[in-house]
Structure 1
Amino acid sequence: MEQTDVAVKPERLQVDIDKPRWDQSTFVGRLKHFATITDMRKLFASEKKLDKAKELVNLYRSGACPPGTTEEQLWQAKQLYDSAFHPDTGDKMNLFGRMTFQVPGGMALTGLLLHFYRTPVEVALSQWGNQSFNALVNYTNRNAASEISTKQMLAAYLSATGAALGVALGLNAYSKKAPPVVARWVPFAAVAAANAVNIPLTRQSELIHGVTVTDADGNELGLSKKCAERGISQVLLSRVLMAAPGMVFLPMMMESLNKRAWFRRATWLHLPFQTFGVGVFLVAMVPIACSLFPQRASMDVKQLENELQDEIRKRFGKNVDKVYFNKGL
């Protein structure tokens, strides 16, 4: 009896790319995830490569994944997609606001902050540059479900810059009577104070109107201001801790090295040394700081606003005991 060939349809990949590749309930899982999407090497991906990654992700989501696509290829595309496209809108993010730019951008600006801290003019220019960068990063990585007007953005930017300058200039004057290393720590205090102003103001519409919360399956349940407060406070803490090692330990190293005559004479070396040092710290601290809290944050229903609790109970009874939301970066 003659045999006939039967076409075998390729088995579809069983991968849930709408969830990170690694378990996000653990710090190690989050660290692996953020190490991939904050990898500054992804900055050099061409527009064509980014668009192809987005196309593959969208094709897979629609059930039309190209035959022969491997699981590894799919994950590489998804990680490249996550590094350049906003998780809420799917739009390509500004290059300088992406988390992949945090290491090169942060090391350059922090290096300037640590080097130019002596005179009011140096402080003003370096803090202005740093806050301009922070405002761009905060806006780029906001929870896009809550839009913010140009007027609100300008107010956040000016307020944060003013806070940074006020703290930096005030502490700079005070530090003249303190040990030299204290003056070198002033930029960190200014950056922390500015973040405390910049992040909440940049994302004030979330605090005013709330962020979209969902159930475990992604079904929208309403808006919550309390979830917005939790998400923003977690981002604020992460940003401060991201900057802390480089801005605290490098000044101590500089004061120690300044006790050596050869280093004091080599003034041309001070700025590149601090800039490179900050870069070393940031390579580790950017993914670590991003991993402190889950990107898809959660809150118990009983901790929500009373009105939202009542609405959820009315619709779902006790079937929903926890809500989820994007905390932003």
Structure 2
Amino acid sequence: MATVNLPRVDIDKPRYDQSTYVGRAKHFFSITNPLNIFATDKELRNAKHIVDTYRSGGDVGSITIDELWRAKELYDSAFHPDTGEKMFVIGRMSAQVPMNMTITGLMMTFYKSTPAVVFWQWINQSFNAIVNYTNRSGDSPITNKQLATSYILATGGALSTALGLNSLVKKAPPLIGRWVPFAAVASANCINIPMMRLKEIQEGVAVSDANGNKLGYSRRAALDGIMLVTLSRIGMATPGMVIVPIFMDRLEKKGFLARYPWSTAPIQLALIGLCLTFATPMCCALFSQQAAIHVAMLEPDLREKIRKLPDPPDIVYYNKGL
């Protein structure tokens, strides 16, 4: 059966219901699927051909709706949504789990040595910069100055936190020291995300009614969205960087790590990879992409503008970002 004879679906919207947590989780499990980074160039070109042809109303051959969505999943995993250009592989969403697993695992393995702390925090923030640049908006691109400033401040914040806390917890229980990398990553997120979205903080983010009609720009909505994204990013890191250290601390107390010192990094990498495989999509799904805010919470001028409309809404919506 040719796809053109199947019911048309809007492939520019998520496949799953985004008004429910389960639907959002399914969506993010598909776009963060690490297996997508192994797709060959031929497979990616074929997926792009199917998506482009289907969008234009052409005949893409005898494929099912499931195969169409699989092509869209591959397309989204590798091509920029605004420019259509193929993205650098380690900056893709599908690379988040393997890259973060490796960096976080090594960051937590070598957390005691100052040179190692500096090196791995620098590597982590360099990776974040690559991800931010790769996924930059095509409509409102991140400037090189903004990227550089965010990179320097986030790296400085992470290093200050890690090195400062390491010096304070020398006499604390070993588990406390194992949690220092998490504190550094959390602090870097609190710096990096607002810096990358500084334009939204200054000018506001577009808010719309339930029908998608743009009503204006709100700085308050932008701040709320940035807070939600920061919480979800910290949430992604929490299972691997808070729970895994408890398990490793137990192994250390039982003498397992002393008997098998070579096993520390592999065990942490495996456990963190398992945590991130689930935590990444599940935390991305915590808050709806189209977030809601009460009109009463908006800036006075925008609030009054909306209330003067013929049928003013009580709630408006905005894209919170990722």
Shift of 1:160: 0.5
Conserved? CA contact 1:103–1:279, under 8 Å: yes
**2:280 aligned residue (269, 286, 290):** 286
Residues in 2 aligned to 1:222 and 1:161: alpha-carbon distance in whole angstroms: 35
**Secondary structure at the residue paired with 1:14?**
coil
Q: Which residue of 1 aligns with 2:179?
A: 185
Alignment of 1:88-167 (within 5 A): 88-167=82-161
Tell me the number of residue pairs that the alignment of Structure 1 and Structure 2 aligns: 320
Alignment of 1:209-224 (within 5 A): 209-224=203-218
Q: Which residue of 2 aligns with 1:6?
A: none
Q: Which residue of 1 aligns with 2:243?
A: 249
Conserved? CA contact 1:146–1:211, under 8 Å: no
**1:318 aligned residue (288, 311, 315):** 311
Conserved? CA contact 2:306–2:312, under 8 Å: no
Between 143-152 and 162-171, the greater mean CA deviation after superposition: 143-152
Shift of 1:91: 4.0
321 and 90 in structure 1: CA distance in 2 versus 1, 3 angstrom threshold: farther
- Larger Cα-atom Rg: 1
Conserved? CA contact 2:4–2:58, under 8 Å: no
Residues in 2 aligned to 1:141 and 1:232: alpha-carbon distance in whole angstroms: 16
Residues in 1 aligned to 2:72 and 2:317: alpha-carbon distance in whole angstroms: 22
Shift of 1:288: 0.7
What are the ranges of 5 or more consecutive residues in structure 1 without an aligned counterpart? 1-8
Conserved? CA contact 1:200–1:232, under 8 Å: yes
What is the percent sequence identity of the aligned residues? 51
**2:38 aligned residue (18, 37, 44):** 44
Conserved? CA contact 1:213–1:222, under 8 Å: yes
Residues in 2 aligned to 1:293 and 1:152: alpha-carbon distance in whole angstroms: 26
Which AA in structure 2 matches 1:41?
L
Alignment of 1:262-281 (within 5 A): 262-281=256-275
Q: Which residue of 1 aligns with 2:193?
A: 199
**2:16 aligned residue (16, 19, 22):** 22
Between 269-278 and 61-70, the greater mean CA deviation after superposition: 61-70
144 and 312 in structure 1: CA distance in 2 versus 1, 3 angstrom threshold: farther
82 and 306 in structure 1: CA distance in 2 versus 1, 3 angstrom threshold: farther
TM (norm. structure 2) is 0.90
Residues in 2 aligned to 1:144 and 1:213: alpha-carbon distance in whole angstroms: 19
Shift of 1:204: 1.2
Which AA in structure 2 matches 1:206?
E
Residues in 2 aligned to 1:211 and 1:226: alpha-carbon distance in whole angstroms: 9
Show CA shifts across 1:209-230 (max 9, x none): 2233444454544433222212
**1:259 aligned residue (247, 253, 256):** 253
TM (norm. structure 1) is 0.88
Show CA shifts across 1:287-315 (max 9, x none): 1111111223333444333444455566x
Residues in 2 aligned to 1:42 and 1:111: alpha-carbon distance in whole angstroms: 22
Residues in 1 aligned to 2:44 and 2:98: alpha-carbon distance in whole angstroms: 20
Residues in 2 aligned to 1:155 and 1:165: alpha-carbon distance in whole angstroms: 15
Shift of 1:128: 0.7
Shift of 1:278: 0.7
Matched, 1:298 2:292: yes
Between 76-85 and 174-183, the greater mean CA deviation after superposition: 76-85
What are the ranges of 5 or more consecutive residues in structure 2 without an aligned counterpart? none
Conserved? CA contact 2:240–2:275, under 8 Å: yes
21 and 80 in structure 1: CA distance in 2 versus 1, 3 angstrom threshold: same
247 and 173 in structure 1: CA distance in 2 versus 1, 3 angstrom threshold: same
Conserved? CA contact 1:110–1:278, under 8 Å: yes
Conserved? CA contact 2:122–2:155, under 8 Å: yes
